[in-house]
Amino acid sequence: MSSSAGRSIEVDLLRGIVLIAIAVDHISTSVLSHAMLHNYAYCDAAEVFVFLGGYASASGYTNIAARQGEWAARRRFLKRAWEIYRAYLLTAALMLACGAVVARLPIAQQLVTETGWPQFAHRPLQSLAEIAVLRRQPFLSAVLPMYLLYALSISLVVPFARRLPVVFFATSLAVWLGAPWLAASLPGVADWPFNPFAWQLLFMLGLLCRLHPVPTQMQTSGVGRALTGAAFALALAFTFVKVCIDTHPSPGYMKQNLASVRIVSFLALAWLCAQAVRLGWLRTLAERVPALVTIGKQGLVCFVGGTVVSIVVDSAVRLAHADTNVFARALGDVVAIGSLWMLARFATTRRDRAPMIAPAAQLVRVQADARSMRGRRER
């Protein structure tokens, strides 16, 4: 990835693609989901999302620290952790609300169970308490508690990774190896859909790639070309196995604890993607499809909004009894992607207006104070 200061357009592009993949993957009637990564590799959008999260977090921390100092960077990521926690609570509330609505519709009730609405309706106070302390995570909100923990750890792990990258990687690898036992030692964590002790390995790999990028000379050397050939061969082999042999989804524990085959599959694709970045292919794509970049820049907003979009589109197609209508299912995908883009545009416009509104509001207050002082003098 680009290691220059500021945002990377390639990272924003990939994050935009991943956010769309997450949304359509959770639409059971989606046509586009058949083209998504999980059908052709032993990893899916989750691995990409977590890896990019580590990369972007390291970039953000180092940029703020360079401009304003380490304390400013630490404060920013403490604030970021609070933002993620609020987004998690909002997503959980939206999932429960969607479950309450879908429960009244004449469609399959599996989605209702996944949202957690039946448990909440039975024991609302206990459910609220469990959600607040991260013990129970309603449908599609499960990745955010993991991100919350990683945001809180950034001020510790970035200096460690910057000074001792080999020791840092060895520590992260050891934590991944012991992830099932570490999760079992903490109340409730063993039940998380994403074991944070396991998934931290990909987050930390993303962080290391930002702090210690692989030199271009190495990528173009004989060793680099050999790695590219091996990555391509692995990717093809995994595709063949997924399409022709192992057509059933892997058991949930393989994803929960980030099985080694998922890591190998992801790393092969990540290396090939890095070569596409080096050759400028992803930058060209980003410049030609700016809508994807816009979605990627509003990651948290589009993730939360995408959870609702997935449920609404899925329910609408089922209500219309269009499960077998390819055109209607494809239209649902278009609506989902368009909704994410509009949400990203709205969030971008609101963010861009904020710096202009704040000085104007401050000016109004100053003028009001001045008029008040003149009034007191006249009296």
Helix %, strand %, coil % for the chain, to 5?
A: 80, 0, 20
Q: Could you tell me which of 273, 225, 352, 331 has the C-alpha nearest to residue 55?
A: 273
Domain boundaries, the chain: 9-378
Query: Per-residue confidence of the chain (379 residues) as pLDDT tens digits?
Result: 443 345 789 999 999 999 999 999 999 899 999 999 999 999 999 999 999 999 999 999 999 999 999 999 999 999 999 999 999 999 999 999 988 888 888 776 677 777 888 888 889 999 999 999 998 888 888 899 999 999 999 999 999 999 999 999 999 999 999 999 999 988 788 889 999 999 999 999 999 999 999 999 999 999 999 999 999 999 999 999 999 987 676 666 689 999 999 999 999 999 999 999 999 999 999 999 999 999 999 999 999 999 999 999 998 998 888 888 999 999 999 999 999 999 999 999 988 876 654 454 454 554 555 555 555 555 5
Query: Can you tell me whether residue 116 is helix, strand or coil?
Result: coil
Instruction: Give the pTM.
Output: 0.89
Q: Please give the helix or strand (H or E) that residue 282 lies within, else none.
A: helix 281-288
User: What DSSP state is assigned to residue 214?
Assistant: P
* Residue 104 CB-density burial (10 A; 0-12 exposed, 13-18 middle, 19+ buried): exposed
| Distance, C-alpha 310 to centroid of its chain | 15
Calpha distance 274→124 (Å, rounded): 47
- What's the maximum distance between 2 C-alpha atoms anywhere in the chain? 89
Calpha distance 265→238 (Å, rounded): 7
Length of the chain: 379
Spatial contact of 46 and 198, defined as CB atoms under 8 Å apart: no
The label of the residue with tokens 């990835």 reads 1
Calpha distance 300→82 (Å, rounded): 12
User: What is the Cβ-side half-sphere exposure of residue 145, based on CA atoms within 13 angstroms?
Assistant: 24
The first and second tokens of residue 363, run together, are 């000016």
Burial 149-172 (b: 16+ CB within 10 A, else e): bbbbbbbebbebbbeeeeebbeeb
